[in-house]
């Protein structure tokens, strides 16, 4: 691979843009431009080609050895050439591009003064908000908002480096030894998805809950989020984050570094958020017990054999909002206001 990459570089990059080391390999009496010979010599003599040779070199390192080493000489030649001849040109181009982008953005904002534009947040702290939630990207397709260690184990593949599960983790899974990091169902949550925005460079960003407590670490976006730099689609774009409970489980139970956990301030358990229906019921109870609230039973009229409530409000908007809040939005849910029957359906 080493010889192949150098050969490709020599063949596809103009000689005027190649480092001096390439010309030396082409004219050297031994290599004569043969990159296989050059690679063989480097791998035979350089201490940088494998772990054993490198640690042997560290027993008695000298600058003279590094200066004579052909791997180091090739690297330094390429790097020095880049810094002297290529980097300044790229810097000038980037500077002109930055100036042009500022002018272009200014023109767009003047041309469309009422449109909201994303700010250029490069080198600044960025915040995005969202809610944890599932999504359905297509017909008969649904993705839950969490994954668990069950899914991690299901993907285990000892022949694939990316899917090898360490023996210690397998033992913890078999024993269901998740400690205090399991959820209320006894499962160990690994990842969760949320409606936050994410783009390149966001990986590792902390994910905080409404109390400012760390609940995860963002590291990826779902497939549908790939267009997020152009347009954000709330219904299907999701940020994927590692659940902090899994991170702490790995630190504590897997790595045995409980002393690190002891240094942390663990957030208290928070009450589970109410559903919209539960919140509405709670608001009604609170209103009923509030001495500043006057509760009045709605009168009804009979409409085609059905008793429907009479909403006495000064405006239709207020009456409609009251009916929707009390009875929900539906085409067959009706209310009476100032001589006319309406439905609570939102259109």
Per-residue pLDDT of the chain (347 residues; tens, 9 = 90+): 999 999 999 999 999 999 999 999 999 999 999 999 999 999 999 999 999 999 999 999 999 999 999 999 999 999 999 999 999 999 999 999 999 988 998 999 999 999 988 777 677 777 889 999 999 988 899 999 999 999 999 999 999 999 999 999 999 999 999 999 999 999 999 999 999 988 888 899 999 999 999 999 999 999 988 877 777 888 899 999 999 999 999 999 999 999 999 999 999 888 877 777 778 778 777 876 777 666 677 899 999 999 999 998 888 888 888 888 888 888 899 999 998 999 998 87
Per-residue CA distances from 4 to 36, 277, 332 (Å): 8, 65, 73
**Three-state secondary structure call for residue 17:** helix
In this structure, the dihedral spanned by the alpha carbons of residues 225, 227, 204 and 188, taken in order and rounded to 10 degrees, is 10
> Which residues, 6+ apart, have CB-to-CB distance to 53 below 8 Å?
46, 47
Instruction: Identify the CA nearest to 71 among candidates 42, 33, 28.
Output: 42
> Which residues, 6+ apart, have CB-to-CB distance to 170 below 8 Å?
153
> Which residues, 6+ apart, have CB-to-CB distance to 19 below 8 Å?
77, 78, 80, 81, 82
| DSSP calls for 244-275 | HHHHHHIIIIIT--HHHHHTS-PPPP-PPPPP
Count the alpha carbons within 13 Å of 64 in the hemisphere toward its beta carbon. 1
What is the C-alpha separation between 314 and 338, in angstroms, rounded? 9
């Amino acid at each position: 691979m080493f010889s192949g990459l150098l050969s490709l570089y020599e063949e596809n990059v103009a000689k005027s843009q190649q480092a001096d080391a390439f010309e030396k390999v082409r004219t050297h009496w031994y290599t004569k431009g043969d990159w296989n010979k050059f690679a063989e010599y480097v791998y035979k003599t350089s201490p940088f080609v494998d772990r054993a040779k490198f640690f042997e070199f560290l027993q008695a390192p000298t600058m003279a050895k590094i200066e004579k080493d052909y791997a180091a000489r090739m690297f330094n030649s390429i790097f020095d050439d880049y810094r002297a001849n290529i980097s300044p040109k790229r810097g000038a181009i980037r500077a002109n591009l930055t100036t042009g982008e500022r002018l272009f953005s200014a023109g767009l904002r003047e041309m469309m003064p009422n449109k909201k534009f994303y700010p250029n947040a490069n080198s600044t702290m960025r915040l995005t908000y969202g809610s944890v939630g599932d999504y359905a990207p297509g017909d008969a397709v649904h993705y839950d908002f969490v994954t668990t260690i069950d899914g991690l184990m299901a993907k285990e593949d000892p022949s694939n480096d990316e899917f090898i599960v360490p023996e210690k983790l397998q033992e913890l899974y078999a024993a269901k030894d998740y400690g205090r990091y399991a959820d209320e169902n006894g499962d160990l949550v690994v990842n969760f998805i949320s409606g936050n925005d994410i783009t390149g460079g966001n990986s590792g960003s902390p994910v905080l809950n409404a109390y400012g407590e760390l609940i995860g670490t963002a590291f990826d976006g779902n497939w549908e989020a790939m267009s997020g730099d152009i347009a954000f689609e709330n219904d299907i774009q999701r940020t994927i984050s590692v659940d902090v409970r899994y991170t702490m489980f790995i630190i504590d139970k897997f790595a045995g570094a409980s002393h690190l956990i002891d240094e942390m301030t663990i957030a208290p358990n928070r009450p589970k958020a109410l559903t919209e229906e539960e919140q509405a019921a709670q608001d009604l109870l609170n209103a009923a017990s509030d001495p500043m609230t006057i509760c009045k039973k709605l009168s009804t009229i009979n409409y085609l054999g059905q008793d429907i409530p009479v909403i006495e409000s000064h405006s239709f908007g207020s009456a409609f909002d009251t009916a929707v809040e009390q009875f929900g939005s539906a085409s067959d849910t009706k209310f009476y206001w100032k001589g006319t029957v309406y439905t609570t359906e939102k259109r």
